[in-house]
Structures are given as C-alpha cells and as structure tokens.
Structure 1
Amino acid sequence: MTETGFEYSNLSGRETGPFVRTASLLLPGVRRVQAQVAPYAHAWERHNREAVAASGPLWVVLGDSMSQGVGASAFDRGWVGQLAESLPGHRLVNLSVYGGRVADVVDRQIPAMESLGTAPDLVTVVIGSNDLFSRRYRPLLPASLAQMLALLPRGSVVGSQPGGQPASLEFNRQVDEAAAAGHVRVAEFRDPRMRSWRGRLSSDHFHPNDAGYAGMAEIVGEAVARR
C-alpha cells in the first residue's frame, strides 16, 4: 500500500501524571506497560497512513489507551486489533491517544476523522475512564460527553461504563438516552462478562492483557453487529 501525507499523532503531548510517574519508578509491571505507550502510538500512526491510502469500508476508532492496546502483547492485540480480525476488508484508522479524555475526542479526534474526507462506515468510541478517575475533570464530563454524542455520526458504537458510581451512572444515562433516540449503539460494558478481570489484566494491574481485550472485542463486536 502507498502511504499518504496523512499526519496525526497518537500521543496526547501531555506529560504523564505524577501518580503514574511515581508508580513507574517503584513498580516494574507499571514500567513495562508504560514502555509500550510511545511504540504502540507510532505503530498506529504508520498503520493509519497505510489505511488512509487504501480502499474499502472505513472503520474509525476514537478513544484512549485501551483502544491503542496498551497492556497487550502487541499494539494490534488489544480489542481493536482482535475485533479487526472479524471485520475483513475494512481499513482501520485508529485515532485514540494514551490518556485520552472525552474532550480529546471532541477537540482532536473527531476533527481528524472529518479531515479524512470520507464518511466512515463504522465509528467506535471507548472513552471516559480517564475523566471519571480525575477529580479535576469529572465535573466537566457531562458537558463534554453531550458535545461528543452530538458530533458523532449516526450509528456510532459507544462503550458504556461499568461500576455504580454516580458519575458513571450519569455517563451511562447520557449514552443510553442517545441510544434510545437512535443516534448511537451501546457497547455494553455493564455486561456481567465484564465484572471479573481475574487473569485478564496486564502487569500494571490496570490495563487489560490479551485475554481481557478479547472480552472487550466480543462486547464491541456484538454492538457492531446490531447494524
């Protein structure tokens, strides 16, 4: 495939937070996973340039580190790469960024998708964890999410949030409301299959490993099939 001039960085450009920096110094498992961040981002950048130059149905991925496959054995063994195996013929453009928040989808990722000049046949979005974990950004999440949902193409697949915390419940209420209006489809991470992560986490005990990502791919794949 011939590459185009499409240029997009799968790195946020922000410094890693103090907690992760400290944990990387103290915990080898965290350090191993953090060492994947830049190489996986650059691998997706190369993949994206090739996909833009190719032909066929276009699948655009929006999201955070879980859509980059951080924690998996290779960049394409996360849920995105595993789901791609069941979507033959699709050209995949992955615009996710490590540490991504809903505002990043609105400000960077959706504009990059629109710059492709081709309407995507499929858009998947798994985002929100970093907003929910942050005391600073959690209060801003409802407004950012409403903006993102309004901008997404009709029929986009959006992942729900597990857990019963008030902010997660509000996130899901907004996504469910958009789904009821026929605007999005929900990748149901509230599914009981997502409750146990025993044996499915990487060495940082946060990001999934290949097995954990296989479960996510199954959930997102079910939503994709509901066309």
Structure 2
Amino acid sequence: MKSSKSSVRIWRITGITSIVATIVLIGGFIYAISDVLNPVGSTYTSDATASGAKPATTVATDGSFQIAVLGDSLAKGTGDDDGSGFARRTVDLLQKNGKEAKLIANLGINGQKTASVLSSLEEPGVQHVLKQSNMIFVSIGANDLFNAGEALGNTQQAPSKQQLLANLPKASKTLQQILERIAQINPDAHILYLGLYNPFSDLPEIRVPGNEAVTAWNTTALNIINSQSNMSLIPTFDLFQQNLNKYLSSDHFHPNGTGYEQIAERVVQSIE
C-alpha cells in the first residue's frame, strides 16, 4: 500500500510540474506579444556617441566595417544579459579578429513591425545613419508573424498555422519594400537580413504551426534577397531549434547573451 500511495504521489507531482511548465511557456508567449502591443523606443546607441547565404564582403575602402542596425527587439538586443545584442557582439568579434569595426547606430525598437520600419526609412535621421554605414543589419518580421498570438492571451489557445500565416503576404511585401528602400538610400552598403527562428518549438501546441510559419517566412525572405546583389540572409532557425533552453532569455522569446553571441558568430562567418 505504501508503494502504491508513493506512486500516486509521484504521478501527481509530475502532472503538476508539467502543468506549471506549460503555463510558464504560455506566459512567455503572452509576455513576448506585449512587445507588439506596447512597443518601447530604443535608446540611440552608437560608437560615435559612446566612444567617439551570399557572403557579405562590402567594406570601406580602408577595410573597416561601419555597421548600422534597425528593426525590432532582436535588433535592439532585448534579452541580452549585458544589453549588447548581436550587433555590438558582432563588432566586438570583428575587432578581436583584427578588423576595424564600428557600430554607427542601433535603431532597433521593441515591438516594431515591417510597416513601421518602412515608414521610418523616410526620416532624415535614419537616412543619415544608413548613409554613414557600409553594412546594415535588419531584424524584422517576428512581430508580424506572431501577431496572431494576441488571440492566445484572450482564448488561452495556441494560434494555428493559418493564423500565423495570415500576415505573411502583406508583411513579406513590406519586407521587400524595406530592403529595396535601404538599397536606394545607400546603394554601396551590404544588407544582412536576420532570418527568423521559432522560440516556441518546445511548446507542443505551437511547435508545428510555428515551425511551418517561420519556414515559410524565411523562404519568402530568401527569395527576395536572392533577387538582389547586395543582400544576404543570416539563418538562425538551426541555431535555436535544439537549444532553446541554452539560448533564450527568461521571457522565452528573445535570445539571452549566449544566444546573441551565437548569432554574432554566424554573422562574422558570413562577412569575413
């Protein structure tokens, strides 16, 4: 009888633990969606103010990298332990490898979608930053794709593949406009677009639809980029797919410091 009661107790504990884990993951999803609903502007970050797929090979005539980054919370570096993000970490890695590299400005903003990035490209300040750069990192699309997750906060049900893909046609067209407009503003710069990953691939309710939606988005983005001569896609899906516990921050959406370092290493491999 004691053994039977002990087994029942163990199964109860296991069941409760599983429920709590699921609630935590769903909570992370809802928290991440709040970035979309309540975007927070980025603090202007640059070396100038602080201290004075296809290989990306465009550098200045003196061999230096002048880097700008724009887009969403991943561009900004949200979730990083020390706030560096992949852009600052990329600059640091290049410098460690003996390259001259400078982060001109980080224009990432939490919660940004493709439409707001496109409109920002007409701002004189943004255009000035882009014209000062010879390498431009772009991270955008996750908030467009996972926007359907707003429904999760209301119904406690995971979004379907159809819901996740609902914004794909319009958002991907806007992405194309973004990349083409950046190329018009600075035709000499090389543009690196950061591919998406599925931060919920360990959550059964979202794993399959999330993977399919992210794959569809990345494929569309790659087709856009392959039609241009000065653009590259930096894949991240494979980096995170089997390493969510290692590379995601506590919000279960953004990378942590280790995750951003992995992205930075992938970027450096592409541009060196």
The TM-score, its normalising length taken from structure 2, stands at 0.58
Instruction: Give 3-state SS (helix, strand or coil) of 2:94's partner.
Output: coil
Aligned-pair Cα RMSD in Å: 3.3
Listed as ranges, the gaps of 5+ residues in structure 1 are 1-22
1:32-58 Cα deviation digits (max 9, x unpaired):
xx8xx96x933xx2546616x94x752
114 and 173 in structure 1: CA distance in 2 versus 1, 3 angstrom threshold: same
| Alignment match, 2:73 | 65
Greater helix content: 2
Verify the 8 A CA contact 2:130 2:182 in the aligned structure 1.
Answer: no
Shift of residue 99, structure 1, vs aligned partner: 0.7
Q: Distance in 1 between matches of 2:182 and 2:130?
A: 15
Instruction: Give 3-state SS (helix, strand or coil) of 1:215's partner.
Output: helix
Which stretch has the larger CA shift, 112-121 or 194-203?
A: 112-121
Q: Distance in 2 between matches of 1:100 and 1:137?
A: 14
| Alignment match, 1:18 | none
Instruction: Give 3-state SS (helix, strand or coil) of 1:60's partner.
Output: strand
Listed as ranges, the gaps of 5+ residues in structure 2 are 1-23, 53-63, 149-165, 199-210
* Aligned: 1:102 with 2:117: no
| Alignment match, 2:42 | 41
* Aligned: 1:75 with 2:83: yes
Q: Distance in 2 between matches of 1:156 and 1:189?
A: 16
% same residue: 22
| Alignment match, 1:216 | 263
TM superposition outliers: structure 1 runs of 4+ over 6 Å = none
176 and 162 in structure 1: CA distance in 2 versus 1, 3 angstrom threshold: farther
Verify the 8 A CA contact 2:68 2:133 in the aligned structure 1.
Answer: yes
Q: Distance in 2 between matches of 1:113 and 1:48?
A: 16
Shift of residue 87, structure 1, vs aligned partner: 3.0
Shift of residue 185, structure 1, vs aligned partner: 0.9
| Alignment match, 2:229 | 182
1:94-137 Cα deviation digits (max 9, x unpaired):
11101111222211156443134844111111211001001385
Select 2:192's aligned residue among 157, 163, 182. 157
| Alignment match, 1:121 | 134
Q: Distance in 1 between matches of 2:90 and 2:82?
A: 14
181 and 139 in structure 1: CA distance in 2 versus 1, 3 angstrom threshold: closer
Q: Distance in 2 between matches of 1:117 and 1:167?
A: 28
The structure whose RCO (Cα within 8 Å, separation 6+) is larger is 2
Instruction: Give 3-state SS (helix, strand or coil) of 2:108's partner.
Output: coil
Shift of residue 139, structure 1, vs aligned partner: 4.8
